[in-house]
Structure 1
Amino acid sequence: MNLLENFRILDIIDIILVACLLYYLYKLVKGTVAINIFFGICIIWVIWKITQLLQMEMLSSILGQFIGAGMFALIVVFQQEIRKFLLLIGSTKLDRRSGFLKHIKFLQDDEVTMTKVEEIIRACESMALTKTGALIVIQRNTNLEFVKNTGDTMMIEVNKPILESIFYKNSTLHDGAAIIEDNNITATRAILPVSNERNIPLRFGLRHRAAVGITEKTDAVALVVSEETGQISYLKDGDFALFKNNEELIEMLRTDLS
């Protein structure tokens, strides 16, 4: 009875927030090697709490020291997952996701430029038919200046012929990635960080690994056209997004960029 009498509304909120935090941590590590480590930590923490409850001083002290000192090791082990979690929190833009700002006239741009998603996908479809390899990175909230600096600076409006000409096999611009911001191609031949993730199937080459790498380190999304198979891949959050057809891909990309 005393426990129920001392139970506050803030305790309920506390439990809900912890549950949400654990849920999002689980989503970040789901499908990776880190999921086994995550479950291992949870098991050790439960055992530690049980030993404290049973007043098993020696075992409780050993587990307590392990958990305390292990936090520094966890930062190293979960480096990629922590990066994704912080990007998830820090990449929120008030001007895009808060409704009240759209009512303040002087905070609005005179003209809102939307990425021509259909043009990008149609270009990918055309390159897929001819098995022309392509790597396109589309910026969302995270600044991609560190990637753009590795390539050739441009400022060309997105359209199907331009994208096809950039990745044409005999073009000097086809190596590396094309960077798109809003509705402009702002860089070509950009060099992307390559992922060291071992779960990527061997059939995927360097383009796909580079796409995984940039979407791991930023909130950008990437499109890859395979030079071997002509298959179009869509990547976000360091993983391959599944889609049934190109029309569904257009809707998915439009949603992710909105």
Structure 2
Amino acid sequence: MLDFLEFRLLDVLDILLVAILLYYIYKLLKGTVAINIFIGITIVFLIWKVTQALHMEMLSGILGTLISGGAIALIVVFQQEIRKFLLMIGSTNFTSKRNFLKQLMFLKSEIGTDTDIETIVQTCLQMSEKRTGALIVIERNQSLDFVTHTGDKMHIELNAPILESIFYKNSPLHDGAIVIQENVIKATRVVLPLSARHLPARFGLRHRAAVGITERTDALCIVVSEETGKISYIKDGEFVLYKSEKELIEQIYFDLE
């Protein structure tokens, strides 16, 4: 029993690294259906380790068999999330010294919390009334440098007149997407990867591009349809339903936390 309670410095480091890993996995899955599966697996794993420590051979053997045999199934279930996790680790922003340190600071405000979502949504409503098409990508934790280089790099503080002027039909910048990081327009005329999924015919290239980038990263997308004026909010490759402007704003702020 004393051996079980004896902690070394390496044990503390081990627990800290596991906590960091679980934290980022939770951030990656937060708001998706997969989060419930992840929580369930974590609980089963913790019970397994406790039964091992207490030498409960029968129960720990059963749980160990379930966990080891389900490894392949987990890869299939979390295929999309694993892809996003690897993209986050391999992104140029993540590997740079400044951003790597920022990723490790738990108590630091999350990326995107300073984004003026009210301005974005209200401007989209104005563009919706005028049938002005728009594709807005909000960067979260994963770097979008791999797509921003396809457009024109900018560093413009976000505001309504700028957004409207960018997506104005005769503007040279209206084609493609814009990428917003915190409260700054990072790039315009960005070419996004298209989703290979089958979408209803009423959705055009803007919607397919929004689904594509949110399938590959943790970014959020707002699309204004040029044909119908309808505003779509897309996250994790799925269309998120909302009932009002206020509900949409609250949902985006929640997703950015």
Q: TM-score range by the shorter chain?
A: 0.5 to 0.7
Corresponding residue of 1:206: 205
Corresponding residue of 2:5: none
Q: Secondary structure at the match of 1:251?
A: helix
Percentage of matched positions with identical amino acids: 60
Corresponding residue of 2:159: 159
Contact conserved, 1:87 with 1:219, CA < 8 A, in 2?
Answer: no
In 1, distance between residues paired with 2:143 and 2:250? 24
Number of residue pairs the alignment of both structures matches = 185
* Closer, same or farther: CA 250–89 of 1 in aligned 2, 3 Å: farther
What does 1:235-254 correspond to in 2, within 5 Å?
235-254=234-253
Q: Which runs of 5+ in 1 are unaligned?
A: 1-20, 30-66, 103-111
Q: 1:27 aligns with which of 25, 33, 38?
A: 33
In 1, distance between residues paired with 2:252 and 2:33? 21
Corresponding residue of 1:32: none
Contact conserved, 1:137 with 1:220, CA < 8 A, in 2?
Answer: yes
Give 1:74 deviation, angstroms. Answer: 9.7
What does 1:102-251 correspond to in 2, within 5 Å?
114-198=114-198, 200-251=199-250
Q: Secondary structure at the match of 2:131?
A: coil
Corresponding residue of 1:7: none
Give 1:131 deviation, angstroms. Answer: 0.6
Q: TM-score, normalised on structure 1? A: 0.62
Q: Secondary structure at the match of 1:169?
A: coil
In 1, distance between residues paired with 2:255 and 2:113? 15
Give 1:76 deviation, angstroms. Answer: 8.5
In 2, distance between residues paired with 1:180 and 1:144? 10
Give 1:84 deviation, angstroms. Answer: 4.6
CA RMSD, 1 decimal: 3.6
* Closer, same or farther: CA 143–212 of 1 in aligned 2, 3 Å: same
The one-character-per-residue Cα deviations of 1:126-166 (angstroms, maximum 9, x if unpaired) are 00000100000000000000111000011100001100000
Letter in 2 for 1:207: R
Bigger CA drift: 85-94 or 224-233?
85-94
In 1, distance between residues paired with 2:166 and 2:230? 18
In 2, distance between residues paired with 1:154 and 1:129? 27
The one-character-per-residue Cα deviations of 1:102-129 (angstroms, maximum 9, x if unpaired) are 8xxxxxxxxx971111111111000000
In 2, distance between residues paired with 1:113 and 1:251? 12
Give 1:78 deviation, angstroms. Answer: 7.3
* Closer, same or farther: CA 209–113 of 1 in aligned 2, 3 Å: closer
In 1, distance between residues paired with 2:231 and 2:115? 19
Give 1:82 deviation, angstroms. Answer: 3.7
Q: Secondary structure at the match of 1:124?
A: helix
In 1, distance between residues paired with 2:118 and 2:77? 40
In 2, distance between residues paired with 1:85 and 1:237? 13
Letter in 1 for 2:128: A
* Closer, same or farther: CA 207–120 of 1 in aligned 2, 3 Å: same
In 2, distance between residues paired with 1:142 and 1:80? 14
Larger Rg: 1
